[in-house]
Amino acid sequence: MVFPAGGGETGELIRNFDWSKTPLGPLSGWPQSLKTVTNMLLLSPVPIVLLWGEDGIMIYNDAYSGFAGSRHPQLLGSKVREGWAEIADFNDNVMKVGLAGGTLAYENQQLTLFRRGKPEPVWMNLDYSPVVDESGRPRGVIAIVVETTQEVLGQQKLRQSEQRFRALTEATSDIVYRMSPHWTEIRQLDGRGFLTDVASPSTAWQEEYLLPEDRPVLQQVIDEAVRSKSVFQHEHRVRRTDGTIGWIFSRAVPILDDQGEIVEWFGAASDVTERRRNEEYLRLVVHELNHRVKNNLAMTQAIAAQTFRNVTDLKEAQARFSGRMVALGQANDLLTGERWVGASLLGAIRQAIHPHCPEEHRCETGGQDVKLSPKTALALTLAAHELATNALKYGAWSDETGKVVVSCSTYKDSDGNERIRIEWRESGGPPVLPPQRRGFGSTLIERGLTREMGGEVKMDFQPDGLVCIVDAPESPYAKG
């Protein structure tokens, strides 16, 4: 019977090899134990090498020849310490342990081998067992060699990728999350202190983070992304870690398997709460601006209609109209500085009358200050402008000695309601007579302030000078 039987290419090499030049001698003289092990390893699809005798003469199969690379077939029949000279110390220990009847096992053992003419790191799972002869004495060592280089390198790359990914996620301020294929389960969430972290899978993420009224719309976006296997993105409200409501812009990409099926979603979300607040504020500002522009246009139309009604002196009417437009512009300047959230009572009065006052000591304003609504501030500014214009033309400022004192105060009425009182008092000017007819200036002062401030306006033309008193409920703005 032919020995060895079969064994592929390596079996043929063994049959034709001149074993007489090795310590094993010709094939015909091999002990049965050696022949049995050789036949066994040649039939195995796993890389196996037999190291026989004290020198560890190498006999192996086709699978091992592939592992040996360019060292095959020179390794066949060689002494293991010489065949793999670069790891002689390692194999010396293998032979000592195996011939003493011991076993060895290594998982992902790294060795540097010269398999293709240059050193390369190789990782292997190695299992060594002794082989006994007919007398029961260990005569050799059989080694099962499974190379794991690709798996180890793949794991190293994976770990490196994970480290880089972790570094990237730690460097960003974005919220990072993972979702199951149909978004029924959140698998991980690093909320960056904005959202509550999720370390283990949870199916209650919608109840935890979303408002009930927002869920249907979000679910529609999710369903479409799952259906089309496309990028998910949506901006929506969330419950933050502190219990308040914030906004995030969320974007996730599907991870597909080899069959194109979604196995997971990976996503990131940015905190856009401040941006949403700014946009909302901008919308309010634009709305308020439109409202103010319409009010100013209406007021301009009313001033123009009243100023030029029954005009006999066009030039004088134009001057009056120009002055009133300047006052309106100054009031808008004041409100612009306050961002149209209201203006100071004393500030509005001072800004309106300062340009008309002949000398600083002839104009006094003081008392308790309060905030006015934008609409009331405009009306008060125009009224103060009319009073100042009249004082300059006919009243206290029309001569060299007259003086205007404006005082503001707050008090409580009999019902305990807060009220404000503004007193315009002229003195030291020429004698004053009540006007024979009510002009637009008087109408603007009395009716405008009454309507806008919801109070009463009294104009008393005393001989020593005009006294105008405004008594109205205090506006809801805080005291200055």
The C-alpha angle with vertex 50 and arms to 48 and 54, in degrees rounded to 5, equals 155
CATH fold of 172-271 reads Beta-Lactamase (3.30.450)
Give the whole-angstrom CA distance, residue 318 versus residue 286: 32
pLDDT digits (tens, 9 = 90+) for 108-136: 999 999 998 899 999 999 999 999 999 99
**Please, how many CA atoms are within 13 Å of residue 117, restricted to the half-sphere of its CB?**
0
Taking the alpha carbons at both ends of the chain, their separation in whole angstroms is: 117
pLDDT in tens, 207-222: 999 999 999 999 999 9
Instruction: Single out the residue of 348, 354, 314 nearest to residue 331, CA to CA.
Output: 348
The candidate with the shortest Cα–Cα distance to 153, out of 117, 107, 112, 122, is 122
Share of the chain above pLDDT 70, in %: 84
What tens digit of pLDDT does each residue of 157-193 get? 877 766 776 666 666 678 889 999 999 999 988 888 8
Give the pLDDT band of residue 476 (cuts 50, 70, 90): very low
Q: Report the pLDDT value the prediction gives residue 434, as an integer from 0 to 100.
A: 81
What b/e sequence results for 171-200 when a residue is b if at least 16 CB atoms lie within 10 Å of its CB, and e otherwise?
Answer: eeebbbbbbebebeebbebbbbebbeebee
Chain region(s) in the chain for CATH 3.30.565.10: 282-473
Instruction: Tell me: pLDDT of 479 over 50.
Output: no
Top pLDDT among 201 and 447 is at 201
Q: What is the pLDDT of residue 199?
A: 87
pLDDT band, very low/low/confident/very high, at 300 (cuts 50, 70, 90): low
Please say whether the beta carbons of 311 and 358 come within 8 A. no
What's the residue count for the chain?
480
* Cα angle 14-112-110, degrees, rounded to a multiple of 5: 100
339 pLDDT more than 50: no
Q: Which amino acid is at 351?
A: Q
pLDDT tens string 434-462: 876 655 456 667 776 777 778 888 989 89
Region 294-319 average pLDDT: 63
Q: Would you state the pLDDT for residue 329?
A: 64
Q: What is the tens place of the pLDDT at every residue in 350-409?
A: 888 887 788 888 999 999 988 877 777 777 887 887 888 888 888 898 888 899 999 999
Superfamily of domain 282-473: Histidine kinase-like ATPase, C-terminal domain (3.30.565.10)
Return d(Cα 472, Cα 398) in angstroms, integer: 30
Instruction: List beta partners, residue 252.
Output: 232, 267
More confident residue, 457 or 98: 98
Question: CA-CA distance, 217 to 164, in Å (whole number)?
Answer: 35
* pTM, 2 dp: 0.43
pLDDT over 80 (residue 475): no
SS (H, E, C) 272-341: CHHHHHHHHHHHHHHHHHHHHHHHHHHHHHHHHHHHCCCCCCHHHHHHHHHHHHHHHHHHHHHHHHCCCC
The whole-number pLDDT of residue 296 equals 55
pLDDT (0 to 100) of residue 235: 96
Confidence of residue 291 (pLDDT cuts 50, 70, 90): low
Per-residue confidence (pLDDT) for residue 298, from 0 to 100? 53
Weakest mean pLDDT among 33-42, 137-146, 340-349: 340-349
3-state secondary structure the chain: CCCCCCCHHHHHHHHHCCHHHCCCCCHHHCCHHHHHHHHHHHCCCCCEEEEECCCCEEEECHHHHHHHHHHCCCCCCCEHHHHCHHHHHHHHHHHHHHHCCCCEEEEEEEEEEECCCCEEEEEEEEEEEEEECCCCCEEEEEEEEEECHHHHHHHHHHHHHHHHHHHHHHHCCCEEEEECCCCCCEEEEECECCECCECCCECCHHHHHCCHHHHHHHHHHHHHHHHHCCCEEEEEEEECCCCCEEEEEEEEEEEECCCCCEEEEEEEEEECHHHHHHHHHHHHHHHHHHHHHHHHHHHHHHHHHHHCCCCCCHHHHHHHHHHHHHHHHHHHHHHHHCCCCCEEHHHHHHHHHHHHCCCHHHEEEEECCEEECHHHHHHHHHHHHHHHHHHHHCCHHHCCCCEEEEEEEEEECCCCCEEEEEEEEEECCCCCCCCCCCCHHHHHHHHHHHHHHCCEEEEEEECCEEEEEEEEECCCCCEC
Phi first, then psi: give them for residue 273, nearest 5 degrees.
-60, -45
- List where CATH 3.30.450.20 sits in the chain: 8-152, 172-271
- The superfamily (CATH) of domain 8-152 is PAS domain (3.30.450.20)
- List CB contacts of 271: < 8 A, sequence separation 6 or more: 173, 175, 192, 194, 246, 247, 248
Joined together, the tokens standing for residue 453 give 């401030």
Query: Crossing angle, helix 273-307 and helix 314-337, to 10 degrees?
Result: 160
Q: pLDDT averaged over the chain? A: 85
Task: Give the residue from 440, 343, 322, 342 showing the smallest Cα distance to 383.
Answer: 440
Amino acid at 191: G
